[in-house]
Amino acid sequence: MKQVYIVITLLTVIFCAVILPKSAYAAMVGQNVCRSIPNSNEKSLCETCVNGNGAYTAFGCVQATGQGIFTKFFSVGMGIAGGIGLLLILFGGFQILTSAGNPERLTAGKEMVWSAIAGLLLIIFSLFLLQLIGFKILGIPGFG
């Protein structure tokens, strides 16, 4: 139940930080943020993002629209899911290597590796189906 509250809080913070601010205020604050960036190339990316009614974050430019937020949130979520899958595969392999002949640990490690691979395949195929149905069949923008 605690995890549900964390997700709801995170979504509320994202909503309040990106959607609610007025574009003039966001542009003024964004220009102040862009001034503090020492790299000139990244500074120009920041200014372009802010002038286009976006928010320049650690994840890059997030457009202040529902589609922009969903696209960025979805891509970051897929990256995190892939990273967690990779870590689970590594941990399962480590568990197999350090089992020292203990059949319970060996079985647990094998199950973890296979579960992580199955999860990664599920993520990949769900992304494929979402793009196929959402973009190619229904024509929803932002899935392409």
Lowest-pLDDT range of 14-28, 30-44, 78-92, 129-143: 14-28
* C-alpha distances out from residue 50 to 5, 11, 75, Å: 31, 21, 20
Tens of pLDDT, residue by residue over 69-80, are 777 888 888 889
Domain spans, the chain: 2-64, 67-137
Q: Exposed, middle or buried by CB within 10 Å (0-12, 13-18, 19+), for 17?
A: middle
Question: Residue 143: pLDDT above 80?
Answer: no
Q: Which residues, listed in sequence order, are joined to residue 57 by a DSSP beta bridge?
A: 60
Tens of pLDDT, residue by residue over 91-120, are 999 999 998 889 999 999 999 999 999 999
Average pLDDT of the residues of the chain: 77
**26 backbone dihedrals φ, ψ, rounded to 5°:** -65, -40
The band of 38, judged by pLDDT with boundaries at 50, 70 and 90, is confident
